[in-house]
Structure 1
């Protein structure tokens, strides 16, 4: 090694220089990607984007000015039409009255700030974090923004629109910043509380004060102001008059939240806060022009449109959907048939309201009726009865779901049994002919153990051995309570949901077999329409079409997929013909002179303590559900209806509800139709043995005249086939033969009665008891 090379080697720490063309080992990990993405380049790009974003925002800030308020200028009427295009209603003038902020008590002003934007008096008018989240959600299609300041909400309400777009949100941000710089906080707060929507058609705090408490804004208490402030989050959901139990709970929580925030901000003394009670609002007074059934129909149509605006992503939530609809410009055509609507109203009048006389019987003032009629082939809601008059009774009885469904739920249990090929505790297939023990207050058994449920039958009547068919005819609680356990209550609840019932919060417990859950006539009409449609899901549709110049509202097809088998649906329909011809509805329906041979299926229901009474029935072309509800005329509490309308004692489903149904249905029939059923179990199969009863029936089944088989034209006592399944090996065959009804059967019906425990009975459910 020469001196020069030696010197260079020492300078390199003794390392020999690498041959040319080779990469030194110390730099072997540096790839092309690492050279491309260095920290300097990444940071430079980030800062560059930030500068670009800031520059773009500065341009937007300079270009976008505060526009003229346009919320009032854009307001138009909504037009509501019957299915034939004739006008049903047109919305009136907007209920708004601007008030000076000085006329609103200071505590009430602060209640709004505490509810929506505690930092309002200190912030710059925007919530950058909330706005960024809103922009991100809009771009990604996730919807709800949340986090807006009072200033931003006022800008959206008064200067802009409710559209969910990035452009609108950027404009909202810029205008809010400018407005906060150019206007006082009092100006912005006054604009906010005067332009916001509070429900009940009320815009602004003055209209809201009148609508909810019958006072002017200047006379509001802090408790009342806190409720109005809480309302802004969800006006319809939190309106005490129409709120569900969940809605009432939520608005009370929101009310407490507002007042607690006021204490936190030192706007309210803690001792005063402790003594405050929730201020229940007054009953609403509907707008003029909504009298009679019109208001109920418009309200139901609005609710359907708002739900669809949210479902299709046009609105972020129901609050925004309500605001969009209220801006007007919609032509909403309902499926309501004018002729059938008039006929339903007349049927309720002749069979019920004309017989109510509160001066003679105080209970008559507490009877409310609701009904829905629909086409099972299209899902169209053809007629709806919401109550005596929308301006007298604001709650729509056709859509309310706070009363027990009672025995109208029993067909759901049978549908689940047949669809699931369920068996009794003894392994016998459940069919229309299966025998159960109909003893009243008989403990329900599961695997040889009592489940702690022993419901009484109507009037505590016992039937002994009884077929499923006759148990449905006579609505025997003990049979269906046991059947629910045999099928599995989880499966029963799932079937209820598939058929169209709201099952959120519905516990899979034995008491549900008595229909202890709440339901509406609209909901039950949809369930029975699905049965009538051979198990293909039918969702009630009150809206036919919606037109608007700026947006499209498209509704999904009301006819859905097959949710239970055709055989299961048709078997239930078959059994329900017996309720009409041989059971609890025969007095009002079977013997009606207008029937003219029309085939009918249906089910009665009467809830615990006679608080509700039902008849839901159908022909191949029309499904109608009628409910009567006991509601205290003053307090709105649920009350009994005993001896209402002059009945001897209990208002049963087979009484006024079935009478209304028959008068309406037979009055609008265009032709007599027959069911097309696919079932191996026959139509309305009558029992082959006389039931034993602790209280002898007035007429045994063998004394009843044979009725016509709706499907085959044979006597109802003649099965059209054998049960869908045979008993397991080793089980004696006990299936009815196909001999004529006059002949003694060689074998009794299929038996599936669980072993009767030594204990003869147990307590029934005091509040879930179905009496009919």
Structure 2
């Protein structure tokens, strides 16, 4: 038998001997022997009582050993790991990369002058997103060296740092660093700054996904464009401007290292506001960044040792929309929105406005800083500085607008929209609700010359053609009766077209317009840049009764200055956006009228300056210095507007004054403003508008220039023939001029004087015997309507 069998046999025998009846019987039978054995058992039992507690303890230890064996502990750990992995997989499957949060997408629009300097920003958040290609490679690396040296090699997360962050959050110790650039970008752009376990887990999952789906350059660009750098600067472009006054593409490595160091504590490390301790800390951080770049072989040690800490510039006030900036910004936005629709980027104007309003645009204007400042100064010195609405109610009704254009490029180099954008929202430079008045007369002449128009008796219209300048003389050849009154009902008799332009004679140009054909006149006006598509082709339009803006009139005259080749004033020079491409049209278009016609009009308009309504303010201006000038004045009905639009070979500027009721915006008279005699002191085009024009133009002209004209007509050239009369419409008065139609056949009128230099205007051979009952205006060369007072 084996040992196991023996053990089992003993166990069976022992159980059989256990019954009580048998043991009792055996005890009786055995007598004293059994009794002795019972006493021994009793003694053993007494000793066993003392070890009962130890036995219980041993049993407990045995239970713990059985419950917490190394196998069970390992199994539990592995189970928890599997559970965690399963949960993470579930999270990974469920959590998607979300759209960026709204705050992270907010950007400002940046507006720049033509030289690239920042004019202003429009938006609550000072952020301008730039493509990573616009940030020098070494500057990119300063951020990697500062925050995450393993960025180009890691999977987007720092597990130890994230675990530490979760534990600290659970234990209430607050936020801890250690996140990768990817994680920081995810927190900035996709999530919030909340310190919760769920947010940290989301950050981990999204970071892993983002690293798998996007390039490192994409992530780095997002990081440096969404981070906050202090000074209300979000993104590297805004930070570069805020601290060093340069664009991101001009940053140096030392400057980039400072901006990268700032991200750890923007307020504490801002050099302008930092304490001595803060300055020491940011310098230490700056050195840390550069040393890491050397360690990563991104920077030569010799170059690094030569680098000096680049102290940033003092902060400057955030640019706003006050003064002229608001007008420029709104006009630039309107131009961009129009182009978005035209190019098909936006379906309609509302959508285009929404696109621009979302921000992210860098809009460079053609505005020249020096010319803009000169125009603003000219308006203040010549006009607004003389207004006092406390003394004179009418002074509060005076509004000024101006636009200045380069005729060779179409660039709007300066614009004046009003006294201040916050005080007068409406842009006076682009408003089209006031009449351009006599500044429209050159358009009529341009149409006559370009279309080869003839007088009523079939003779070609030239600058020397004679017309009847009698006030209220009915026009001939029109189905609609029209007999316009000259300014102050002045009669001029027979005068040439040149003189009619110089004196701004309404009756002569009304007949000239009818001779050309008003439909043709309006067609040419539209070709030159005015909006005439909804106008009726009636003789009254010859008085400039349609609406027009200074910007439009500057474009019309710029086309004349550009020898008839269309000039569309362009306020915007270039547009940039990180996700949209906008192509701007060429401001210089096709030939819309012949060069000879355009040059002849220019030649005629030199006479307005040298011997007409603008001579006092422009011809005799001490700053002129021989500069050749062409231009035209205009004063509308009831003196509600006054204009001067003039040009040199290199600059065209239109200035308009508008009477606008300060309370309700209705059109009112300008008469009496600045203290001129109420009811008599008219504000004419040859007055303040011409003065503003002259002070500005002659102040910014760098050199004296002359017109290159291909014409043998007009005040700029010596006449080669006798002026041609028009039989049906011209007559030399034999008595005092009246408003009645002449009854005698006109005769040819020959000038009484031959010019010896630049031709002057022709004077009627008979002076009216009656003196006008009202004070002469700019038509007599009296720019303020004071007649010598």
Q: In which range does the TM-score fall when normalised by the shorter chain? A: 0.5 to 0.7
Q: 1:676 to 1:68 in 2, by over 3 A?
A: closer
Distance 1:289 1:593 in 2: 37
* Structure-to-structure mapping, 1:178-577, within 5 angstroms: 289-446=320-477, 451-577=480-606
Distance 2:750 2:593 in 1: 26
Instruction: Quote the residue 1:93 is aligned against.
Output: 124
Preserved CA contact (<8 Å) 1:378 1:558: yes
Distance 2:324 2:754 in 1: 51
Compute the displacement of 1:326 (Å). Answer: 1.4
Task: State the secondary structure of the residue aligned to 1:382.
Answer: strand
Compute the displacement of 1:288 (Å). Answer: 8.4
Distance 2:594 2:380 in 1: 39
Task: State the secondary structure of the residue aligned to 1:519.
Answer: coil
Distance 1:527 1:622 in 2: 13
Compute the displacement of 1:487 (Å). Answer: 0.2
Instruction: Quote the residue 1:678 is aligned against.
Output: 710
Task: State the secondary structure of the residue aligned to 2:536.
Answer: coil
Task: State the secondary structure of the residue aligned to 1:554.
Answer: coil
Deviations 1:21-46 (A, max 9, x none): xxxxxxxxxxxxxxxxxxxxxxxxxx
Compute the displacement of 1:645 (Å). Answer: 1.5
Q: 1:692 to 1:369 in 2, by over 3 A?
A: farther
Compute the displacement of 1:554 (Å). Answer: 1.0
Distance 2:525 2:532 in 1: 7
**Which of 650, 654, 660 is the aligned partner of 2:682?**
650
Task: State the secondary structure of the residue aligned to 2:693.
Answer: helix
Deviations 1:93-145 (A, max 9, x none): 179xxxxxxxxxxxxxxxxxxxxxxxxxxxxxxxxxxxxxxxxxxxxxxxxxx
Distance 2:392 2:753 in 1: 52
Compute the displacement of 1:509 (Å). Answer: 0.8
TM-score, reference length from structure 1 = 0.57
Instruction: Quote the residue 2:755 is aligned against.
Output: 741
Preserved CA contact (<8 Å) 1:80 1:88: yes
Compute the displacement of 1:680 (Å). Answer: 2.4
Gaps of 5+ in 2: 1-93, 127-189, 191-317, 726-730, 738-744, 765-781, 784-789
Distance 1:461 1:440 in 2: 6
Q: 1:635 to 1:476 in 2, by over 3 A?
A: same
Preserved CA contact (<8 Å) 1:443 1:451: no
Preserved CA contact (<8 Å) 2:436 2:634: yes
Deviations 1:314-346 (A, max 9, x none): 111111111111111111100000000000000
Compute the displacement of 1:504 (Å). Answer: 2.4
Compute the displacement of 1:741 (Å). Answer: 3.2
Distance 2:754 2:500 in 1: 22
Aligned residues: 462
Task: State the secondary structure of the residue aligned to 1:573.
Answer: helix
Distance 1:326 1:652 in 2: 40
Q: 1:475 to 1:694 in 2, by over 3 A?
A: farther
Instruction: Quote the residue 1:609 is aligned against.
Output: 638
Deviations 1:646-687 (A, max 9, x none): 234110000000000000000001000000001121435689
Preserved CA contact (<8 Å) 1:433 1:467: yes
Task: State the secondary structure of the residue aligned to 1:404.
Answer: coil
Instruction: Quote the residue 1:135 is aligned against.
Output: none
Distance 1:653 1:542 in 2: 25
Deviations 1:552-572 (A, max 9, x none): 111111000000000100000
Instruction: Quote the residue 2:113 is aligned against.
Output: 82
C-alpha root-mean-square deviation of aligned residues, in Å?
Answer: 3.2
Compute the displacement of 1:506 (Å). Answer: 1.5
Preserved CA contact (<8 Å) 2:119 2:319: no
Preserved CA contact (<8 Å) 2:112 2:363: yes
Distance 1:638 1:605 in 2: 17
* Structure-to-structure mapping, 1:570-585, within 5 angstroms: 570-585=599-614
Instruction: Quote the residue 2:286 is aligned against.
Output: none
Distance 2:355 2:104 in 1: 14
Preserved CA contact (<8 Å) 2:450 2:597: yes
* Structure-to-structure mapping, 1:686-705, within 5 angstroms: none
Instruction: Quote the residue 1:207 is aligned against.
Output: none
Normalized per residue, the structure richer in helix is 2
Compute the displacement of 1:543 (Å). Answer: 0.4
Distance 1:64 1:417 in 2: 74
Instruction: Quote the residue 1:179 is aligned against.
Output: none
Distance 1:66 1:694 in 2: 92
Preserved CA contact (<8 Å) 2:609 2:618: yes
Task: State the secondary structure of the residue aligned to 2:683.
Answer: coil
Preserved CA contact (<8 Å) 2:596 2:711: yes
Instruction: Quote the residue 1:635 is aligned against.
Output: 664
Deviations 1:228-251 (A, max 9, x none): xxxxxxxxxxxxxxxxxxxxxxxx
Distance 1:88 1:575 in 2: 39
Task: State the secondary structure of the residue aligned to 2:708.
Answer: coil
Distance 1:664 1:467 in 2: 32
Q: 1:470 to 1:749 in 2, by over 3 A?
A: closer
Deviations 1:210-235 (A, max 9, x none): xxxxxxxxxxxxxxxxxxxxxxxxxx
Compute the displacement of 1:586 (Å). Answer: 0.5
Task: State the secondary structure of the residue aligned to 1:486.
Answer: helix
Compute the displacement of 1:541 (Å). Answer: 0.3
Q: 1:439 to 1:332 in 2, by over 3 A?
A: same
Task: State the secondary structure of the residue aligned to 2:664.
Answer: coil
Distance 1:470 1:738 in 2: 14
Compute the displacement of 1:507 (Å). Answer: 1.4
* Greater mean deviation of Cα atoms: 424-433 or 682-691: 682-691
Instruction: Quote the residue 1:766 is aligned against.
Output: none
Preserved CA contact (<8 Å) 1:445 1:451: no
Gaps of 5+ in 1: 1-62, 96-158, 160-286, 697-730, 751-770
Q: 1:376 to 1:597 in 2, by over 3 A?
A: same
Instruction: Quote the residue 2:301 is aligned against.
Output: none
Q: 1:674 to 1:736 in 2, by over 3 A?
A: farther
Preserved CA contact (<8 Å) 1:462 1:694: no
Q: Does residue 1:600 correspond to 2:633, yes or no?
A: no
Compute the displacement of 1:691 (Å). Answer: 7.6
Q: Does residue 1:669 correspond to 2:701, yes or no?
A: yes
Compute the displacement of 1:361 (Å). Answer: 1.4
Distance 2:639 2:732 in 1: 27
Distance 1:578 1:502 in 2: 27
* Structure-to-structure mapping, 1:74-223, within 5 angstroms: 74-93=105-124
Deviations 1:342-380 (A, max 9, x none): 000000000000111112211000000000001000000
Distance 1:672 1:480 in 2: 32
Preserved CA contact (<8 Å) 2:732 2:746: no
Distance 1:521 1:434 in 2: 30
